[in-house]
Amino acid sequence: MPEIMIAKTVDKKKFADLAKAIVSRGYRLYGPVRNGGEVTLGEVGEEPEFDFDYRNFKMSPKEFFLPQSEVLCRFCRGELAEDAAPAPQKRVLLGLRPCDARAIWLLDKVFLEEPEDFYYKQKRENTVVISVACANPATTCFCTSVGGGPAAAEGSDILLFDLGEAFLLEAVSERGEEFLNQFSKMTKDATKKQVAQKKKIAEEAASRMEKLPLDGVAERLAKAFDSDLWEAPSQKCLGCGICTYFCPTCYCFDVTDETLRENGRRVRTWDSCMYSPFTLHASGHNPRPSQKERVRQRFMHKFSYAVDNSGQLFCVGCGRCIVNCPVNIDLREVIAP
Amino acid sequence: MSENVKMSDDLKAVAKKLFEEKKIDLLIGYEKGTLPLRTTPCFVTSAGDCDRLVWDGFCSNNLAVYLPRLFSREGRPKDWRPPRVAVVAKGCDGRSLVGLVKEKQAPRDNLIIVGVPCRGVVDLKKVQAALDGKEPAGGEIAEDGTLTVHVDGGKDIRLGRDEVIFDSCKGCPHPDAPVCDIRVGQELAEKQAEADFGDIADFEAKSSQERWDAFVAEISKCIRCYACRQACPNCYCTTCFAEQTQPRWIGVGKDLTEVMIYHLGRIFHQAGRCVDCGACVRACPMDIDLRLFTRKILKDVKELFGYEAGVSLEEPPPLCTFKMEDDQSFITEP
């Protein structure tokens, strides 16, 4: 974790004022929005409520950087009709959990290394990520097993801790520090006691979390490529896209040219390795002919190939695939030794 | 011994016997899941493996969905012999199996339907809503259907049967599989009255614009994960029209027009086939009330053709046959 740059506190009662100040500085502010029993990341209204007592957003925030459907360009009779999407307004995403922020840090490795992805980079550079440290992880959470933690900083610009009466805001990136400095009149420097309190929150949450035996998982799975490990999960897998669409690190996409007479648009959409057409060749041959190869691919990619490519597991332990799978395929069980 | 434990034991014994008598190669049933109050589909291939099986009110998946791919000849050698498969079936699952046999997706001779009496299965979303943000640690269902949920560091919470079962289970006309080879446990005497479709009366009473608005409001939640299609035993097309590329019928994006066409296609293909098992709604991660639309079609088919899907192997499917007395009111003068 990077050294603490600056740590500020703001009284909970004054947090709404800070939010208004953020908006008045030209940022679009996205935060927790309640919809029935669920909480999603959405644009906050006039009277924002900031209680961060939810476990996590229903869907991961990857949509904000890699939209499910994004028009890359438009064309007319083979000529580009207009430039690519204009730069988005600068924005603040508030209330992510550190696991989802870590997922953005992982996506950076895919989209910001050569060749850089213009569309992703534009959004990433215009976004300040404020994550909220977890005090109450779910039983399906396992961030500490995959390199993260309830107060891990990767992918965040600012970490927010709930200290009861006040929120502590800790800048964990240069962008975060610059951002906090804009609002120094509304915040106070955190006291030593408050810094100690925030450490305790993170440590307590981490101590309650299950630790999966994932040492050497990449090599273990690489050796299990042809084993019958994949039989049980692939037999019951329905082949829907829930696990991949809910996953904060699944980034596979498809690019399609949609045309109507002489006009067309190039669209990038989420794709899923769970779908049969994902690997279907133009010849009609499909190198992953059954659900077994598809299920294996998903786990191998996250826990073996990704380690070879970038040195990191491409799972952040958010548990969304476990909770939402219609047939209760449990990743923790599949990759267990 | 609780009823659920006895039922599970009876089921294990039936399954073992089927393997010992070499009548089946595979049995598809349920086993305990990894999450509290959940089971997961399990594929059993030997007598020694049958102890994994369970049967209780947490067995919500419709296992008929697995049959088309088990019996598909695509990519298999010419001399391939289809497996002999037993399937644990609630009333609705049994009706799906009948549909698959009639549509030639499962050979009747290779299929053993193991019927289990169903009093309705537990909707975890309803349980979750009653727990007010707490996570369940486990639970049991009593004989009268009352669910007791254990909560870590808290008091047990008791929820009545009607509070927790899926909407699709309320007023279920067939708690037992209508076509069945082996029955485990007692057939349920308290067969419910014929479905009255009161639940869609409001929807039907709306003007066509209001119905359209209601449809759009529901469908707008869709993320196109295709879970509704994948969970449905009736959706077995090798290539779904929604994903076909030559020609492409609908666009790839999340625009309402694309999403809407997918759903209209899926819903209308259910006419005369949907057994209202609710698998689509259970699988949907966005809580779209897909049944609202399939129920309307179910009712129309019943009124127009007096047909109920999945209850008989002999009765021809209404959209594959013609009778002189069929309703012809839709035919209008040019």
Tell me the chain B residues in contact with residue A291 when contact means C-beta distances shorter than 8 Å: 69
Find the angle CA(A8)-CA(A10)-CA(A16) to the nearest 5 degrees.
135
Residues of B in contact with A232 (CB under 8 A): 43
Summarize pLDDT for A21-48 with one digit per residue, the tens: 999 999 999 999 988 778 999 998 767 7
pTM (2 d.p.): 0.95
Cβ contacts of B230 on chain A, cutoff 8 Å: 238-240, 326
Average pLDDT over residues A67-92: 84
Residue B193 has a pLDDT of 57
In chain B, which residue's Cα lies nearest the Cα of A69?
A: B253
Residue A239 contacts residue A291 (beta carbons within 8 Å): yes
Q: What is the pLDDT of residue A3?
A: 54
Task: List the single best residue of B30, B32, B40, B85 to mutate versus A (max A Cβ within 10 A).
Answer: B40
Q: In what order do the strands lie in the sheet with A127-132?
A: A38-43, A28-35, A91-96, A127-132, A158-162, A166-171, A7-11, A188-189
pLDDT score for B329:
82
CA-nearest of A163, A166, A173, A164 to A198 is A163
Query: Is B65 in the A-facing interface, judged by CB distances under 8 Å?
Result: yes
Rounded CA-CA distance A121/A119 in Å is 6
Mean pLDDT (chain A) is: 93
B28 to chain A: closest CA residue = A236
Q: Are A59 and A246 in contact (CB under 8 A)?
A: yes
Q: Which residues of chain B have pLDDT under 70?
A: 1, 189-195
pLDDT of residue A1: 46
Q: Judge whether A6 and A168 are in contact, CB under 8 Å.
A: no
CB-CB neighbors (< 8 A) of B35 in chain A: 140, 322-323, 328, 330
For position A96, what pLDDT does the model report?
A: 97
Spatial distance between the Cα atoms of B130 and A226, rounded to a whole number of angstroms? 44
Which DSSP symbol is given to B137?
A: E
User: Coil, strand or helix: which one is B4?
Assistant: helix
What is the C-alpha to C-alpha distance for residues B121 and B60, in angstroms, rounded to an integer?
6
Nearest CA in chain B to A243: B225
pLDDT at residue number B330: 76
Indicate the SS3 state at residue A198.
helix
Interface test with chain B among A58, A235, A320, A321, by most B beta carbons within 10 Å: A235
Q: Residue A319: its chain B contacts at CB < 8 A?
A: none
Over 60: is that where the pLDDT of A84 sits?
no
List chain B residues with CB under 8 Å of A59.
Answer: 223
The closest CB to that of A242, out of B34, B40, B285, belongs to B285
Sign, Cα dihedral of A93, A97, A101, A106: negative
SS3 call for A327: coil
The tokens for B308 are 């109920």
Tokens 């107060």 correspond to A151
Is the torsion defined by CA of B89, B93, B94, B99 positive or negative?
Answer: negative
Q: Which amino acid is at B89?
A: A
B35 to chain A, any CB pair closer than 8 A? The answer is yes
Which residue, B108, B106, B8, is CA-closest to B57?
Answer: B8
Rounded to an integer, what distance in angstroms lies between the CA atom of residue B320 and that of residue B252?
A: 32
pLDDT above 90: percentage of residues in chain A: 83
**Which residue in chain A is spatially nearest to B131 when comparing CA positions?**
A37
Q: Please write the tens of the pLDDT for every residue from A175-228.
A: 999 999 999 999 999 999 999 999 998 899 999 898 999 999 999 999 999 999
Measured between CA atoms, how close is B167 to chain A, in angstroms?
Answer: 17
Q: What is the mean pLDDT of residues A107-126?
A: 95
Query: Could you tell me the residue ranges of all domains in chain B?
Result: 3-122+173-183, 198-320
Find how far residue B170's CA is from the centre of its chain: 14
The one-letter amino acid code at B235 reads C
Residue A90 pLDDT > 80: yes
- pLDDT tens, residue by residue, A143-180: 999 999 999 999 999 999 999 999 999 999 999 999 99
Please report the pLDDT score of residue B194 as a whole number.
63
pLDDT at A8: 95
Reported ipTM:
0.94
pLDDT at A79: 86
